Amino acid sequence: MTLLDVTLLTPLLGGLLLALAGHRPIGGWINVAVGVVTFGASLAMALDVFAHGPRLSSGRMFYIDAFNVYLVVLTAFVGLTTSIFSRPYMRHEVERGRVTDRRLRLYHSMYQCFLFSMLLALSTNNLGILWVAMEAATLTTVLLVSLYRTPEAIEAAWKYFILCGVGIAQALFGTVLIYFAAENKLGGDRDDTLLWTVLHGAAGGLDPAVIALAFVFLLVGYGTKVGLVPLHNWLPDAHSEGPTPMSAVLSGLLLNVALYALVRVKMLVDASLHTNLAGHLMMGFGLLSFTVAGLFLHRQHDVKRMFSYSSIEHMGLITFGFGMGGPLATFAALLHMTVHSLTKSAIFITVGHACQLAGTQRIDHIRGLIRTQPAIGWGLLLGTVAIAGFPPFGVFISEFLLLMATMKSWPWLTIPLLLGFGVAFAGLFRHMQRMVFGEPPPGQKPVEANMLPVVVHLLLVLVLGLAIPGFLSRWFEQATVLISGASPL
């Protein structure tokens, strides 16, 4: 039994176990325990890959290299910290009567199944299985978005289901086209032509016309899940209406995994086309998402909705970075993926507590957080400062690197980027100030909150901003070399 098996099987078995015992008081603890084991195994696997290079499992079903192993660790880590937060949070929701025992069991079970499908998507070597796992990630979360059974939640879940279903169907068509091109090149009598390692080795000889067509379908498909404008409509709804731990993992992890799928495909397409078509498409969509989402930040009345637009904005930025290609931009995009995940899940955790404190998600009704419960108030303020890209947090470093890369290869694009940063910053802080400071409404009482995940996440982001540890930077460098073919250092 390899470490990869442990990483994958633990959440799957945990999900099955929680389907039986998820509603008991111990359910929350089982959830945390499963998270601990998964994270431990993924970390050990990462060190192994770091020391010995890429690993191909026997049967070639799974492939672990520097690029996906760091996302596996990130996914397991955020999954763990969010499960720590989710235990008291969901207990509070049960006490408030918003969630029944049966739904709590569903929630816990699907939480782990969701993590399993994301880890499967990250570690599989087969483009078909990648698609199946991405679709499974939608299916496991759709009932969680509608967990509260309010009309709004049902509508959000329906939108999420239909839009992501249609989107991801395009990606399946793209996968079929890639398979078609590969069979023409490699012959139809072998059964390994959908394996990424095989495809990547043969990418130079794939028919460019088919591959270009396939990429368009795949970009639309996985781009829907990344939340790229104009395919983003599901995202703010699903984030704002579901339970907050779900918002944290959707925003912090699912978007990353979808983008990972897109970048993997881009590596194939670039090797086949020898043009920058894929990169230019990604840059265009990325910049559009970045700009539009930044503007939409200004007119939000729901705090979770606001931060989900911030997620779209950042995913747009990362897509732009990967699209630009080149070592520096790729390095910056990888770093930004990490710091955005950590910061955004920390923010959603804090926002969850803030909403329980104020009893509402409306920005106008959340007041005086620092007065009532300083931990939540400061957590939200610092999280927002971090996500807006202030030094010394890590988001500043990755955005700065991205700006430098842009200045080198596309100087005139720095203007919309800088404007976008300013607009997004203003959009976040015009709402933030009133929520954090200000007079608390009478009778507002502190809630039971576990701020440990937030502190850990923000500290990590701070460390990444001050000095990236040597082994981590070498790790990012390895991944950058894999994706862009050259080292940034």
Query: Which residues are at the interface with other proteins (CB under 8 A)?
Result: 126, 128-129, 131-132, 135-136, 139, 142-143, 146, 149-152, 154-159, 161-162, 165-166, 169, 172-173, 176, 179-180, 183-184, 188, 191, 194, 207, 209-210, 213, 237, 240-241, 296, 299-302, 362, 364-365
Q: Which is nearer to other proteins, 189 or 439 (CB)?
A: 189
Peptide linkage before 88 cis (omega within 30 of 0): no
Could you tell me which residues come within 8 angstroms of residue 325 by beta carbon, excluding any fewer than 6 positions away? 270, 276, 279, 484
Q: Which is nearer to other proteins, 137 or 267 (CB)?
A: 137
Beta bridge partner(s), residue 62: 124
Instruction: Dihedral sign for Cα 267, 270, 271, 273, please.
Output: positive
Per the document, the length of the chain is 489
What are the distances in angstroms from CA 274 to CA 212, 219, 390, 481? 11, 18, 38, 18
Instruction: Please answer whether residues 113 and 140 qualify as being in contact, where contact means their C-beta atoms are separated by less than 8 angstroms.
Output: yes
Question: To the nearest whole angstrom, how small is the minimum distance from the Cβ of residue 182 to other proteins?
Answer: 9
Among 238, 289, 237, residue whose Cα is nearest residue 259: 289
Question: To the nearest whole angstrom, how small is the minimum distance from the Cβ of residue 176 to other proteins?
Answer: 5
Q: Which is nearer to other proteins, 236 or 488 (CB)?
A: 236
In DSSP notation, 4-66 reads HHHHHHHHHHHHHHHHHHTTSTHHHHHHHHHHHHHHHHHHHHHHHHHHH--EE-GGG-BEE-H
Neighbours of 95 (CB within 10 A): 9
In DSSP notation, 197-259 reads HHHHHHGGGS-HHHHHHHHHHHHHHHHHHHT-TTS-THHHHHHHHS-HHHHHHIIIIIHHHHH
Q: Which is nearer to other proteins, 81 or 141 (CB)?
A: 141
Among 335, 171, 178, 343, residue whose Cα is nearest residue 268: 178
Instruction: Please answer whether residues 223 and 38 qualify as being in contact, where contact means their C-beta atoms are separated by less than 8 angstroms.
Output: no
Question: To the nearest whole angstrom, how small is the minimum distance from the Cβ of residue 129 to other proteins?
Answer: 6
Q: Which is nearer to other proteins, 93 or 241 (CB)?
A: 241
Q: Are strands 63-64 and 55-56 parallel, antiparallel or unpaired?
A: antiparallel
Q: Which is nearer to other proteins, 45 or 121 (CB)?
A: 121
Q: Which is nearer to other proteins, 301 or 408 (CB)?
A: 301
Report the distance separating Cα 54 and Cα 198, nearest Å.
15
Question: To the nearest whole angstrom, how small is the minimum distance from the Cβ of residue 149 to other proteins?
Answer: 7
Question: To the nearest whole angstrom, how small is the minimum distance from the Cβ of residue 368 to other proteins?
Answer: 18
Neighbours of 292 (CB within 10 A): 18
Q: Which is nearer to other proteins, 179 or 393 (CB)?
A: 179
Question: To the nearest whole angstrom, how small is the minimum distance from the Cβ of residue 59 to other proteins?
Answer: 11
Question: To the nearest whole angstrom, how small is the minimum distance from the Cβ of residue 468 to other proteins?
Answer: 38
Question: To the nearest whole angstrom, how small is the minimum distance from the Cβ of residue 319 to other proteins?
Answer: 22
Q: Which is nearer to other proteins, 37 or 273 (CB)?
A: 273
Three-state secondary-structure class, residue 45: helix
Question: To the nearest whole angstrom, how small is the minimum distance from the Cβ of residue 183 to other proteins?
Answer: 5
